[in-house]
Copies of this chain bind each other. A is one copy, B any other.
């Protein structure tokens, strides 16, 4: 190697991210990591839940009697992934698998009383978390961001 070595003295602040700042994915990921950490500090720490599990719970609550396969489609994950999620939520007493009256293969997911109570509590925390996030943007910007994200996701 005959090439001259570059200085290689790089302070944390002045470090280059190459082409990354020109990519939507980079900023999308940063925003999500930031949001996720905020969720963990505010909602997660208090209610012991992750964004993913909260989302599952929301969909189950909003669609009583939902079969696991439908939930998998809604969340765009495989059926085998749903099994673990449902196991967790059931183990915590938040939901139950009830046998379907019309199809003996499928399980109807339902919230328990505890599940309803816990979800209500979580929702308050999530709304507070959302409000803190939204404070970084004007109401119009928040609306605009939502619109653009939907457009990007198709």
With known contacts A58-B18, A62-B16, A70-B10, A24–B153 Cβ distance under 8 A: no
- The reply to whether the CB of A46 lies closer than 8 angstroms to some CB of chain B is no
Min CB–CB distance A16 → chain B (angstroms): 4
Q: How near does chain B come to A29, taking the closest CB pair, in angstroms? A: 7
Minimum C-beta distance from A118 to chain B (A): 14
Interface of chain A: mostly helix, strand, loop or mixed: helix
Q: Find out whether the CB atom of A133 lies under 8 angstroms from the CB atom of B145.
A: no
* With A10-B66, A35-B25, A65-B6 as contacts: A74 and B17 at CB distance below 8 Å: yes
A28 to B63, CA, bound (A): 23
Question: Cβ of B63 and Cβ of A15 under 8 Å apart?
Answer: yes
Question: Which A48-75 residues have a C-beta within 8 angstroms of B?
Answer: 51, 55, 58-59, 61-66, 70, 73-74
* Cross-chain pairs A/B with CB under 8 angstroms, 18 sampled: A12-B73, A15-B74, A17-B59, A22-B130, A24-B133, A24-B142, A25-B51, A25-B130, A27-B153, A28-B31, A30-B149, A33-B153, A136-B151, A136-B154, A137-B151, A141-B148, A145-B149, A148-B148
Chain A positions within 8 Å of B, measured between CB atoms, are 5-8, 10, 12, 15-20, 22-36, 39, 51, 55, 58-59, 61-66, 70, 73-74, 76, 100-101, 108, 123, 126, 130, 133-134, 136-137, 141-142, 144-146, 148-154
